[in-house]
Structure 1
Amino acid sequence: MSNINPPRRPPRIRAPLRITNEGALFASLIVLPQNDPWWKELIEWLAYHHTWSISTVTSIAWVVIAFIFIVTNSFTGDLASDFNPDGQGVGSLWLWLLPIVIGWLQISPKCDEDRVRSAVKKANEIAYAATDTHPVLAKELTEERAIYLASGEEDEVLRCDEMVTAPIYNYARFLPWVQAVEKVSETFRVASERYHHHDSVDPMIGWITMGDRIRDSSSKPHDRNRVGNVSQVARYCQFDPHYRHADFRSKWGPNVFSRIAIASDLAFMLQWGTVGAAFIVVYYTPTTGEQYSFTFLLLVNTEGLTHRSAGLGCRSASYLLFGALSTIVWHLLLISSLLVHYVATSSPSSAYTGSRLLNLQRYDGGRSYPLRLSIARHFAIFLRRLAKLVATFNALWILAICLFQFGNFFDTCYCNSSVFGRGRGAYNVIELVASDVGPMKNAWVGGVCLAGGTAFLFVGFVNVFIEPTTSRKLRSGEY
C-alpha cells in the first residue's frame, strides 16, 4: 500500500482497529519504501477465507429443498379438512438465516480474533518509522504502532462489545471502524495528490521519473522521492488546502447516518419480511384443534361456522412479539453504540484524533468524567445490558414458540379462537366452508412470496456491493 495506491483490496477485518500518527508512525507506514513489505505481509497473513465448500453448498441446498417441500405439502391434499400452517409458518420465520449465511460466505470478513491479532502483530514487527536521521524499525523506537488492535488498556466496561470480534458485535465497531478507514483513506489521498504533483518527501530532492512506468497510475515513485526526516514525512501526509481533497474532521464520518439508515432498513426488510410472512400465514388461517374441536363449544359463536376465524391468536401474537422485541433490541444497541462513540471521541485524547485512546481505567481511578460524558457513558452501558437481556429472552421465546407449535401446546380453546384479536366475540371453527379456503390459500401464497422475495432481495443487495473477482485481480495486477 505504501506505493500511494493500494496494490490489492484490503482485507475486511472486523476487529477493534486503531490508527495513530503519533511520531509520524502512520505517515511512515505509507511513505517509506521500507514499509512496502509491511502491507504485503499483512494481506498475506490475513489471506484466509470462510468461503464456499461442498458441505456449505449441500447444507444451504438442503434448507432450500426442505422449505420447498414444506410449502408444497401445505398446498396439496384437502385443505378443507387438513389446514395446519405450523410448518410453513416456522419455515418462513427462520428463512432469514439463509441470506445471512450466503452473504457471510460471499463477504468473508476477517473476524478470527487470534488470527487477526497475530497477523497485525507479525506485520508490526517489520514496520519502520522515520526519525531525524534515517528510518529504523518502529519496535526499536517506541512501543506505539501506527495500526494496532485495541486491547485491555481501554475502558473495558464501556467498550467490551467492540473488543469481541464475533460478527454479532459488528454493531459496536461500525463507527470507530468508519473513523479508522476514513483516516487511512484520507491520508492516502493526501499522499497521492502530492505524488501526482511530483512532490518529494524531502523538498531538497528533485523528482525522479521511473521511465515508461510513470505513465502507469499505479506505479511507485522512486525510492529517493519517498525518504525524509520525521517532520518531512509527517508534513507529506498532512492536509494541504492547495490540493483538491477535503480535510476529514468529523467525529462521525462521512455519510455515516445514511449508511446506518440503509443497513438498518435492509435488516428490517429481511426480519419483517420473514417474520411478517409467518405472521400472515398464521393470522389468516382459521384455527381449529384436533383433540378439542367438540369440547370447546362454549366459545363457539353460532354464526361462526360461516365466517373465517382469522385473527390475532397465540401463534400470530407470538410471532409479532418476537419481531417487535427484535426491533427494540436493535434500536437499543444502536443508541448505545452512538453514545459509546460520542464518549470515546469527546475524551481529551483518542485514537480517532491522532493519538492513543485515553486510559479510561486510570482516568476513572484518578479523576472523574465530565458530567455530560459520565451520564452518556452510564446510559450507554445500561442500554447495552438491557438490550442483551431482552435479546436473550427473545431468543428463548422464539425457540419455545416453535416447540409449542409442533407439540400442540397452542391447540387449546383459547388459542384456537383468536381471543387476542376478537375478544368476547371469539369463536372456534369446527369445519371450514368453501368461502374460507380461497382467502386462506391467498394468504399462504402471499406469505411464501414475501419471505422468499425479501430473502432474494437481501442477497441481491449484498452482491451489488461485492467487488467482482475479475475487477479485483485486474486492479491488483494478477492479470
Structure 2
Amino acid sequence: MLLPRGLKKRQRTSAWICLLLVASAWATNFSICLDEVRSGKWGTIGGTDNSGRPVSNISQATALTYDLCLRACGSGPERFNWNIFSQQFTAWLLPSLALASQLPFGARTRLDNLVSVLLTVGSPTLASYSLALTVLNGHWLAERFSHLSYPNVRNAVKILSSLQQSPLEVHTEESLLASLVVLHANDNFWVDLEEWLNGSSLSAVASILWCLLAYLFTVVDFFTGGAVTYSTLNSNGQAVGSVFLWMLPVVVAWLQISPKCDHTRVKQAINRANQIAFVATPDGEPTLASNISTKRAISLRKGGGDVHSDEHLEAVYAAFREASQKSESHQPVNGSAWERGDRNIRVRPANRQGSLPQVIAYIEPVVKPWAFDLFDRPRGSRWGPGVLSRLVLASVLALGLTWGTIGAAIVGSYFVPTQGIGCRAGSYLVYGIVSTVVWMMLVASSILAHMSSFTGTSNERYVYSKSTRTAAIASIILRRTGKLFSALNAIWVFSACLFQFSSFFDRCLCNSSVFSLGKHAYNAIDLLPEDLGDLLLSKFVGCSILFMGFVNILINPELPD
C-alpha cells in the first residue's frame, strides 16, 4: 500500500522517537542497581567493597562483582547526558581540534593534506619525531658550515635548512651551482630567496597565539580541576586532555617553521629567485640563467624518482668550502691581483668575477688542509655524518613526549576506580602502541628507501641489484601499511573520546576493569572521597614543556658569518 510522502516521514520520525525511548528505558542506572542489590533483590553473594573484597553484609556493599553487575544492572551503558557530553567535549576535545586545525599543512593537494592530518593525529610519535629531526638537522647544518667564510654562506644555511621538507634538486652541470656560489651577481638570489622563504608571517604569529589561548583553559582545568563526583567520573575528560597534550608543543613548533612546510610558498620563492639567477659565460660577462637553459642550480623535483638529498647538500657544501678556502688564500676568481677587503666587505666583488672556465675551476677540489678533512664525510658513506646520533636523539624526544602525555592518560584512567585496565585506559594504551608502531614502520620505510637508492649506473641508467629492489619493495609496503594504521588509529582515538563523553564506556564491562582483573573484576559504584583522590596529572605536563624548550633552544642555531 502506497502512503503519502508526509505520512512516511512522520512514521520514520515516530520510529526514531520510539527507538530512543526504548534505548533510554534499557539504559543502566548504577545507583538504582546498587540499591536493589543492597536490598537483597539479587541475593547475598557478589557484593564487595571498593577494593574488591567481599562483604559479609550485602547491605554494606559499595561495589559489585562483574558477574553480579551483569545480572543486576545489565550490559548496557548509562543513559546519555547531553549536559555532561557538551561540557566535557568543549572543555577537553574541542581545544585539541582547534590545535589540529592550526597545523601548517602545505602539501600539494587536499588529499595529501588529509594524509598529513591522519599521520599527525594517528601517530604523535611520528609527528614529534619529524619535528625534532628537522630541528636537529638545522642545528647540524649550521655547525657543518660554521667554519666557512664566504659571501652568502649564512643565507645558504638558512635556505638549505628551510628546504628540508621539500624535494630539493641541485644541478652542478653547466656551471649552474658554481656560478650561484661564486659570482657577485648572484648575491641578490641568496638574499631574496632566504627572505621569501623565512620572512616573518603575522598569520603564523596569530595562529600561535590562538593555539595558546585555545588550550589555556584546558591546561588551567588540568591543574586546578576540583573534586570529581561519581556522576561525572567515568565521563570526565582529564585523560582526553592529557592524551592530546602532545599537540601543543608540536603545533607551536611547526608554526614557528611553517614556511618550510608550505609547498606553494616554497615553490613560488624558488621560482622568483631563479628569475634573477646568473651564470658565467666564456667571455666573463655573467648572463641570466634563463638565457642559457631551463635548468637551475636549485629547484624542486618534479614527478617521481629518488631524491638524493645528502648528495645535494654535499654538493653545495663542497662548493662553498672550496670557494672559502681559495678566498682565505686571497685567490681571486679571474687570477688577477687580490683586492683587499675591509670590516664590512671581506671579499670584494672584483675578486668574485671571472669567465666560465675560471668559475668552474674555483670550486674544483684541491689538496685541502687537515682542518677541512675533519668536516668531510667519510668516503663511500651515503648517510652523512652524525645521522645516527640525530636519529637516536629525535627518537628519544619523540617517545618521551608521546608516552609522557599518552602515558598520563593511561595512568589517570588506570587509577580511576575500579583500578585496572578497562575500556578507557585500554583505548589510550592501544593508541600509544599503534602510534609507536606506525613511527617504527615509517622510519624503517625511509631507511629502506634510502638504501634502495644505492644503485650503480650503466649507459646513464640506474642499475638495481636484488638487494636494492627488495629494499624498495619493503619500503613501499611499510609506508602504505603505516599510513593505513595511522588513519585507523586517528579514528580510534577520536571515537574513544566520544564514547567516554557520551557514557558509552560507562557500563559493567568497562567500569569493572575486566581486561586486567579478569575473574576478579568488580565495579566500584559508591565511591568515597579517598577513592577518588587527586586525579590531576600535572607532573606529566612537564614532558610537553621540556620538548617545547628543546625545540626553541635549537630552532635558531648560531649561523656562520
Tell me if TM exceeds 0.5. Answer: yes
* Alignment size in residue pairs: 402
Deviation readout 1:230-283 (Å, 9 max, x if unpaired): 333223223333323123453211101211211122121111111000000000
Task: Find the partner of 2:316 among 163, 184, 191.
Answer: 184
Deviation readout 1:212-238 (Å, 9 max, x if unpaired): x1x45xx24233322333333223223
Are the structure 2 counterparts of residues 332 and 48 from structure 1 closer, same or farther at C-alpha, using a change threshold of 3 Å? same
| Kept after mapping to 2: 8 A contact 1:24/1:234 | yes
- For 1:86 and 1:30, locate their aligned partners in 2 and report how far apart those are by CA, in whole Å: 60
Matched, 1:411 2:506: yes
Q: Which amino acid letter does the alignment assign opposite residue 179 of structure 2? A: S
| Kept after mapping to 2: 8 A contact 1:92/1:448 | no
Task: Find the partner of 2:416 among 285, 296, 310.
Answer: 285
Task: Find the partner of 1:424 among 513, 519, 531.
Answer: 519
Farther off after superposition, 377-386 or 39-48: 39-48
So what's the TM-score if we normalise by structure 2?
Answer: 0.66
Task: Find the partner of 2:268 among 118, 125, 138.
Answer: 118
What SS does structure 2 have at the residue aligned with 1:398?
helix
What SS does structure 2 have at the residue aligned with 1:348?
strand
Deviation readout 1:289-340 (Å, 9 max, x if unpaired): xxxxxxxxxxxxxxxxxxxx31111111110110110111111111111122
- For 1:345 and 1:48, locate their aligned partners in 2 and report how far apart those are by CA, in whole Å: 37
**Which residue in 2 is equivalent to 1:449?**
539
> Displacement, 1:7?
5.5
Q: Which amino acid letter does the alignment assign opposite residue 154 of structure 2? A: P
Matched, 1:28 2:173: no
| Kept after mapping to 1: 8 A contact 2:179/2:280 | yes
Are the structure 2 counterparts of residues 434 and 181 from structure 1 closer, same or farther at C-alpha, using a change threshold of 3 Å? same
**Which residue in 1 is equivalent to 2:349?**
223
What SS does structure 2 have at the residue aligned with 1:86?
coil
| Kept after mapping to 2: 8 A contact 1:2/1:35 | no
Structure 1 stretches of at least 4 aligned residues deviating more than 6 Å after TM superposition: none
Task: Find the partner of 1:61 among 209, 213, 223.
Answer: 213
**Which residue in 2 is equivalent to 1:37?**
188
Matches within 5 A, 1:467-478: 467=556
**Which residue in 2 is equivalent to 1:462?**
551
Q: Which amino acid letter does the alignment assign opposite residue 269 of structure 2? A: A
So what's the TM-score if we normalise by structure 1?
Answer: 0.76
Farther off after superposition, 191-200 or 384-393: 191-200
- Provide the alpha-carbon RMSD of the alignment: 2.8
**Which residue in 1 is equivalent to 2:249?**
99
Q: Which amino acid letter does the alignment assign opposite residue 388 of structure 1? A: K
- For 1:80 and 1:48, locate their aligned partners in 2 and report how far apart those are by CA, in whole Å: 52
**Which residue in 1 is equivalent to 2:24?**
none
Deviation readout 1:430-468 (Å, 9 max, x if unpaired): 323565344xx2xx34x3211x11110011001111328
Matched, 1:261 2:392: yes
Are the structure 2 counterparts of residues 238 and 94 from structure 1 closer, same or farther at C-alpha, using a change threshold of 3 Å? same
Matched, 1:371 2:521: no
Task: Find the partner of 2:457 among 345, 348, 352.
Answer: 348
Are the structure 2 counterparts of residues 117 and 4 from structure 1 closer, same or farther at C-alpha, using a change threshold of 3 Å? closer
Q: Which amino acid letter does the alignment assign opposite residue 319 of structure 1? A: Y
Q: Which amino acid letter does the alignment assign opposite residue 538 of structure 2? A: V
> Displacement, 1:56?
4.1
What SS does structure 1 have at the residue aligned with 2:270?
helix
Matched, 1:234 2:360: yes
| Kept after mapping to 2: 8 A contact 1:81/1:431 | no
- For 1:347 and 1:141, locate their aligned partners in 2 and report how far apart those are by CA, in whole Å: 30
> Displacement, 1:407?
1.0
Matched, 1:138 2:289: yes
Q: Structure 1: which 5+ runs fail to align? A: 163-175, 287-308, 350-357
| Kept after mapping to 2: 8 A contact 1:92/1:278 | yes
Farther off after superposition, 176-185 or 124-133: 176-185
> Displacement, 1:347?
5.0
* Percent sequence identity over aligned pairs: 39
Q: Which amino acid letter does the alignment assign opposite residue 202 of structure 1? A: N
> Displacement, 1:411?
1.3
Are the structure 2 counterparts of residues 44 and 70 from structure 1 closer, same or farther at C-alpha, using a change threshold of 3 Å? closer
